[in-house]
Structure 1
Amino acid sequence: MKKPLILVTNDDGITAPGLRSLIKVMKEIGEVVVVAPDSPQSGMGHAITIDSTLYSKQVVIDQNEGAPLEYSCSGTPADCVKLALQELLDRKPDICVSGINHGSNSSINVIYSGTMSAAIEAGIEGIPAIGFSLCDYSWEADFQYTTKAVRKIVKEALEHGIPRGTVLNVNFPKTDSEPKGIKVCRQARANWKEQFDKRTSPTGKDYYWLSGVFELLDKGEDTDEWALANGYVSVVPTEFDLTAHHAIGQINNWNLNE
């Protein structure tokens, strides 16, 4: 049987250790093609390039035999998936995996995530898609304890499929041992209490650094934040239909047509 075609992407850039770790596992499962940003694109959300030129080129990162076909792209993670599907691949991939991100994409962080936006872009095109993240922002983060769960989740997704209109947001706890297990969760209710660090350049111009404190507002034990805090891998099925269906009836009671 033909091996599944796996599109691999990320938002930390094509040389990121998390991406290289993900590629290694995907090579065990199927035929891999990598299309990833040529530089870090963290926090880009679902941004796409529409007012400047988009570039892509084939690159060789892995010199070993059996290395996958790889392309770098000057655009965002969503651009990478669009370009892969429209121009670079010779057939539709069986699955798209994004990551492994250096840093958490749990809870409200999913809104800003380039990693998850790449997965969502694939999901919009009807391709099963998964975003993987490790709760460690260090470039030297240790990804060895992600391997087993990544392999398991991707194989299960290929075998059973992912419900249409849904992608999986998978986060790994920062740990020095194997996670306790995998929990399917809901997204925790949380936000960032943000502030800007205002400074002045030598030329007298003001500039700002965004900073903030993560505030968890949810005490539920069925959330991604609870799972991660207790040593589990969290899997959140995530929809990209943003309609608040429960609110339609209430809004219809407004006097909108009078």
Structure 2
Amino acid sequence: MKKKRPLILISNDDGFAAKGINSLLEYVRGFGDIIACAPESARSGFSCAFSSEKPLRLRLVREEPGLQVWACNGTPVDCLKIAIDQICDRMPDIVISGINHGDNASVNSHYSGTMGVAREGCMKGIPSVAFSLCNYSPDADFSNTARLIKIITGRVLEDGLPKNVCLNVNFPDTPEIKGTKVCRMCNGIWEKELVKERHPRGYDYYWMVGQFRDTEPEATDTDEWALAHGYAAITPTTIDTTAYSAMQKISDWDL
């Protein structure tokens, strides 16, 4: 019996028409059969959110040999769930998310719909990787990421990933990527997150904006340091969020 090619499931949080996901499709087409299921429009900041109070809709927007692209009206995680349940004829061999327009380093990982896709795939036992570029432009140039995306995709397909671990890969927006750094998530904080405006009809409204501050700028083992110095940052990310180092201290409380 002829062995089936690997099944690659792709999603994002910028929408199915975004340049990032369409660049990704071209970069990994040689690795297997691809099903892409992505939001109808941008869903940035949705993290692992899913829809519980509205029906989901699917539509096929592109079909070629070895490739299907679907659009869904839900969140990035909705897209993954519905693709696995309704579109895929078998469990995917890998889940790939991105390429995101904008980085998902440091605490951005917690907010990111791009990482939500990778976490959802990981929770289902599928080796999962999220790719992001430090450029928010809709017309960003992703070409410098192609070589590393192909290498990482090939290695994950060949070797898999540890249980409950997914990869958060961020690329610097530089003419040349110096290499890769396997690094930890930087400690950082978003500040000045709201801009207040006055509507002509007499009420206040607010824009969510903000400035990111690296709270450990001297550390050289973080994703923020790697990106600032021209390296692609690879951060292994765990599903288990237990703070094991704090367990004994909490156990010692007189409760």
Sort the TM-score into its range (normalised by shorter chain). Answer: over 0.9
Find the counterpart in structure 1 of residue 203 from structure 2: 205
Q: Does residue 81 in structure 1 map to residue 83 in structure 2?
A: no
Secondary structure of 1:36's counterpart equals strand
Find the counterpart in structure 2 of residue 254 from structure 1: 253
Separation of aligned partners in 2, 1:117 and 1:147? 22
Separation of aligned partners in 1, 2:110 and 2:19? 23
Separation of aligned partners in 1, 2:193 and 2:5? 49
Find the counterpart in structure 2 of residue 20 from structure 1: 22
Task: Tell me if structure 1 keeps the 8 A contact 2:92–2:126.
Answer: yes
Q: How does 1:30-41 map to 2 (within 5 A)?
A: 30-41=32-43
Secondary structure of 1:107's counterpart equals coil
Q: Percent identity?
A: 44
Task: Tell me if structure 2 keeps the 8 A contact 1:194–1:210.
Answer: no
Find the counterpart in structure 1 of residue 153 from structure 2: 154
Amino acid aligned to 1:12: D
Structure 1 residue 67 displacement after superposition: 6.4
Find the counterpart in structure 1 of residue 135 from structure 2: 136
Secondary structure of 1:214's counterpart equals strand
Structure 1 residue 202 displacement after superposition: 2.2
1:63-101 C-alpha deviation (Å, 9 max, x unpaired): xx5461111010000111111111111100000000000
1:133-156 C-alpha deviation (Å, 9 max, x unpaired): 000000011001000000000101
Secondary structure of 1:72's counterpart equals strand
Moved more, 211-220 or 120-129: 211-220
Q: How does 1:173-184 map to 2 (within 5 A)?
A: 173-177=172-176, 179-184=177-182
Find the counterpart in structure 1 of residue 214 from structure 2: 216
Q: How does 1:88-99 map to 2 (within 5 A)?
A: 88-99=87-98
Amino acid aligned to 1:198: K
Q: Which structure 1 segments of 5+ residues have no match? A: none
TM-score, length-scaled by structure 2: 0.96
Q: How does 1:38-57 map to 2 (within 5 A)?
A: 38-57=40-59
Secondary structure of 1:199's counterpart equals strand
Structure 1 residue 234 displacement after superposition: 0.6
1:135-179 C-alpha deviation (Å, 9 max, x unpaired): 0000011001000000000101111111110100000000123x1
* Runs of 4+, deviation exceeding 6 Å: none
Moved more, 205-214 or 65-74: 65-74
Aligned length: 252
Find the counterpart in structure 2 of residue 243 from structure 1: 242
Find the counterpart in structure 2 of residue 193 from structure 1: 191
Task: Tell me if structure 1 keeps the 8 A contact 2:134–2:170.
Answer: yes
TM-score, length-scaled by structure 1: 0.95
Q: Which structure 2 segments of 5+ residues have no match? A: none
Separation of aligned partners in 1, 2:15 and 2:202? 33
Separation of aligned partners in 1, 2:208 and 2:197? 11
Secondary structure of 2:5's counterpart equals coil
1:173-221 C-alpha deviation (Å, 9 max, x unpaired): 00123x1111111111111113311112222222101122111112221
Structure 1 residue 52 displacement after superposition: 1.1
Secondary structure of 2:213's counterpart equals strand
Moved more, 15-24 or 181-190: 181-190
Secondary structure of 1:146's counterpart equals helix
Separation of aligned partners in 2, 1:48 and 1:194? 28
C-alpha RMSD of the superposition: 1.2
Separation of aligned partners in 2, 1:234 and 1:171? 5
Moved more, 44-53 or 8-17: 44-53
